[in-house]
Structure 1
Amino acid sequence: MAANDYYHTSHPPTGQPHGSPFDDDNSYHPAPNSSGALGGYPAQNTSYSSQQDPFTDHNAIPLHSQPKYEAHQLDDGSPAPYTADPEAHARPSRKRSKRKKQKKGGWFGGRITWVVYTLTAVQIGVFVGELIKNGMLTGSPIQTKPNFNIMIGPSPYVLINMGARFTPCMHNINQTIASNVQSWPCPNTTSLNPGSLTCSLSELCGMGGVPDQSTVTDYRDRSHEPNQWWRFIVPIFLHAGIIHIGFNLLLQLTLGRDMEKEIGPLRFALVYFSAGIFGFVLGGNYAADGISSVGASGSLFGILALTLLDLFYKWSTRRSPVKDLIFILLDIAIAFVLGLLPGLDNFSHIGGFLMGLVLGICLLHSPQSLRQRTGSDEPPYATVDTQPLAPTTGPASIMPHFFTNFAKSPVAFFKGRKTLWWAWWLVRAGGLVVVFIGFVLLLRNFYEWRNTCSWCKHLTCLPISTGGVDWCDMGGLSLQNRSTQSPARRGLAPVDLSDFVTQAMGAMM
């Protein structure tokens, strides 16, 4: 009887969901295998019936709209596992992938620096050509005779033949004209024997040759003067050896690449070539005539000057400015000390750094502190760092406000400017004028005036004597008689610096 009452009661069985007119479509319906229900029969009070959650209010407004939950079943009738919205799971993965892409750095991360990559490709290609030509002329891709090139590269005579800055190929040399030098080392020279001097100056210089100077008696006579002026530019792409080009490209692909992202390709290319050319011009005026100078270090010193200026301009915003300053000064000091070794041209380092410093003042945006005081609207550059810059935030990708505002309304651009703004722009304009005048004066002195500087040699050498030879006298032209029967016929003997630093490295610029 009790069993009959249990199975035939008028009340619904416990544990079963009961439909209610107050239920809506947003109410939660459990899966079939649930042990209890959220909405049990309201009059039931047994241990088998689920009680209504006292904290649940069906009339409350939900804070977030939730998708309707529906229990799914597999083919065998068992409940399927809970699966959330697939789009909700996809978003975090996309964010993570974006973060991974943003963290990607190195030499090929961020915006493509076309100038640095193009220069690097050309310089590597030219260096391979140097090794091939040295192998064709001497039988070895690197110089091993008469001494070994410690830079692991071609001989200095091959570099001269390919366009190194060598002043006898560029203008008259008083010493060679007065001594009637007729014989010069050949590009394939492998001996220090004066008898190996069988080439003319035109054959040594190559690149179309130079006029015959056998009839010239005064160096001021420019009728037969060599004039391979491009030797102020071509050496930027030449290097003295694997070690030389390796260090230069390492600096170019790190510091140079960051700076190109910072200031843009046009400014970067202008400073790069201006610093390199100015360094070779300064070295051509005051370095020894017997030094063949090659390398891109003058250009890189100009970029190093830009980095130093950028550090000072943003000193208050840098994370560790003192540390950055120490590293920059250490790089400058090491390169300057190396330039004091025999056979090296430190003037190219100095000239490149000075040109980069002045052009940086003229081309870079004003310091942040100065812009705040003058109310300048120049967009600030991001600090130079090893992390890649966002493509949309780089100021190099937009036209500077100076040109756009000036083109729209020239008068309004200058109207209302503060005195400090005018003073800073006068400094910029003055620096540009000084650089231009200095460049012109150095060229005039190289070709016409020939003024020398007696103390300037100490900027590129140490007052040390080895074997009775002063380091500051190394790199000059060494003239020797080819025959005792004709003392007037003299030749330029190859200079042997193997006891110190072989001149095969040219000028480690």
Structure 2
Amino acid sequence: MFVRTETFREFIRFYPITSILIAIHLLFWIILILPLSYSNLFISQLVGVNGLIEQGEYWRLVTPIFLHSGFSHLLFNTFSLVLFAPALERLLGKSKFIFAYIGSGLIANIITFWLHPPTYSHVGSSGAIFGLLGMYIFLILYQKHVLSSSDTQIVIVLLVIGLLMGLFNARVNMVAHVGGMLGGFTLSFIFFKAPIHSHRPKTKQFYFWLILSLLVIIGLFSYR
């Protein structure tokens, strides 16, 4: 599911929304690095600044999803998008996928606004990407037939690594990572069918959610 074998043209044809998101990432990055006076001014109007959001500039809850602070930041998030977005775009369809992606990023930025001080500023699609991971966690728990065991292991390992990196790197917006993941997981109940009958959780699932919950609690309280 996460191995890409398509050509460039096939990727664009099969996953148009993912391709458009990547193009937007690149477009804003090019605008940012252009040696023009209006470039930085334009980008500054899109950065998530909590104090300005508090003053009514609510578009800043959405626009940071498409911005990145450096080339490595852009490269990592774009690679993550190429890796995780295509399968969900095919599963959800174009409209639902757009809603899920932007919705997860919006939830992540709203939680960032709540928990960080007014002086805090942020950019990046990490919250939205963690929302995709949250949707995969939903599929692992409630739609086991969608993911293979190897795909499941990839999702869990990358999710845990991403959360741990957020805990030990002060530059990472851990709140957005956790908020995006929880947002994507919650939105999954709208897009996917959960099982009608509840079952006793398996031991592996229990310990996974126990460890993940501890990481979430530690991450959130570290910013309070």
**Helix, strand or coil at the partner of 1:315:** coil
Root mean square deviation of aligned Cα: 3.1
How is 1:299-378 mapped onto 2 (pairs within 5 angstroms)?
Answer: 299-315=128-144, 318-319=147-148, 321=149, 323-340=150-167, 341-366=169-194
- Asked if structure 2 preserves the Cα contact closer than 8 Å seen for 1:275 and 1:356, the reply is yes
- Distance in 1, matches of 2:145 and 2:14, equals 29
Q: Given the two structures, how large is their TM-score scaled by the length of structure 1?
A: 0.36
How is 1:384-395 mapped onto 2 (pairs within 5 angstroms)?
Answer: none
Structure 1 position 168 matched with structure 2 position 69 = no
1:161 Cα deviation from its structure 2 partner: 1.9
**Helix, strand or coil at the partner of 2:10:** coil
Long gaps (5+) in structure 2: 199-215
1:316 Cα deviation from its structure 2 partner: 5.3
String of CA shifts for 1:407-455, please: whole Å, max 9, x gaps: xxxxxxxxxxxxx5xx9xxxxxxxxxxxxxxxxxxxxxxxxxxxxxxxx
1:359 Cα deviation from its structure 2 partner: 1.1
- Distance in 2, matches of 1:364 and 1:332, equals 20
1:343 Cα deviation from its structure 2 partner: 3.5
- Asked if structure 1 preserves the Cα contact closer than 8 Å seen for 2:32 and 2:43, the reply is no
Tell me which stretches of 4 or more aligned residues in structure 1 moved more than 4 Å.
316-319
The corresponding residue for 2:26 is: 124
The corresponding residue for 2:100 is: 271
- Distance in 2, matches of 1:317 and 1:284, equals 34
- Distance in 1, matches of 2:218 and 2:141, equals 30
Identity %: 20
- Distance in 2, matches of 1:332 and 1:363, equals 21
1:260 Cα deviation from its structure 2 partner: 0.2
Q: Say if 1:295 and 1:122 are closer, same or farther in 2 by CA, change over 3 A.
A: same
- Distance in 2, matches of 1:159 and 1:286, equals 26
- Distance in 2, matches of 1:104 and 1:229, equals 40
Q: Say if 1:312 and 1:166 are closer, same or farther in 2 by CA, change over 3 A.
A: same
How is 1:26-65 mapped onto 2 (pairs within 5 angstroms)?
Answer: none
- Distance in 2, matches of 1:167 and 1:457, equals 22
Aligned residues: 201
1:269 Cα deviation from its structure 2 partner: 0.7
Structure 1 position 109 matched with structure 2 position 10 = yes
How is 1:53-452 mapped onto 2 (pairs within 5 angstroms)?
Answer: 105=6, 108-109=9-10, 112-132=14-34, 135-136=35-36, 161-171=44-54, 226-315=55-144, 318-319=147-148, 321=149, 323-340=150-167, 341-366=169-194
- Distance in 1, matches of 2:176 and 2:121, equals 12
- Distance in 2, matches of 1:318 and 1:348, equals 26
- Asked if structure 1 preserves the Cα contact closer than 8 Å seen for 2:131 and 2:180, the reply is yes
- Asked if structure 2 preserves the Cα contact closer than 8 Å seen for 1:287 and 1:345, the reply is no
Larger Rg: 1
1:106 Cα deviation from its structure 2 partner: 5.1
Q: Say if 1:159 and 1:301 are closer, same or farther in 2 by CA, change over 3 A.
A: farther
Higher relative contact order (CA 8 A, sep 6+): 2
1:295 Cα deviation from its structure 2 partner: 0.7
Higher helix share: 2
- Asked if structure 2 preserves the Cα contact closer than 8 Å seen for 1:107 and 1:254, the reply is no
- Distance in 2, matches of 1:317 and 1:344, equals 31
Q: Say if 1:334 and 1:289 are closer, same or farther in 2 by CA, change over 3 A.
A: farther
- Asked if structure 2 preserves the Cα contact closer than 8 Å seen for 1:163 and 1:235, the reply is yes
- Asked if structure 2 preserves the Cα contact closer than 8 Å seen for 1:342 and 1:461, the reply is no
Q: Given the two structures, how large is their TM-score scaled by the length of structure 2?
A: 0.77
- Distance in 1, matches of 2:107 and 2:16, equals 23
Partner amino acid, structure 2, of 1:310:
L
String of CA shifts for 1:290-311, please: whole Å, max 9, x gaps: 3311111111111111222223
1:159 Cα deviation from its structure 2 partner: 8.7
1:324 Cα deviation from its structure 2 partner: 2.7
Q: Say if 1:314 and 1:106 are closer, same or farther in 2 by CA, change over 3 A.
A: farther
String of CA shifts for 1:51-95, please: whole Å, max 9, x gaps: xxxxxxxxxxxxxxxxxxxxxxxxxxxxxxxxxxxxxxxxxxxxx
1:170 Cα deviation from its structure 2 partner: 2.2
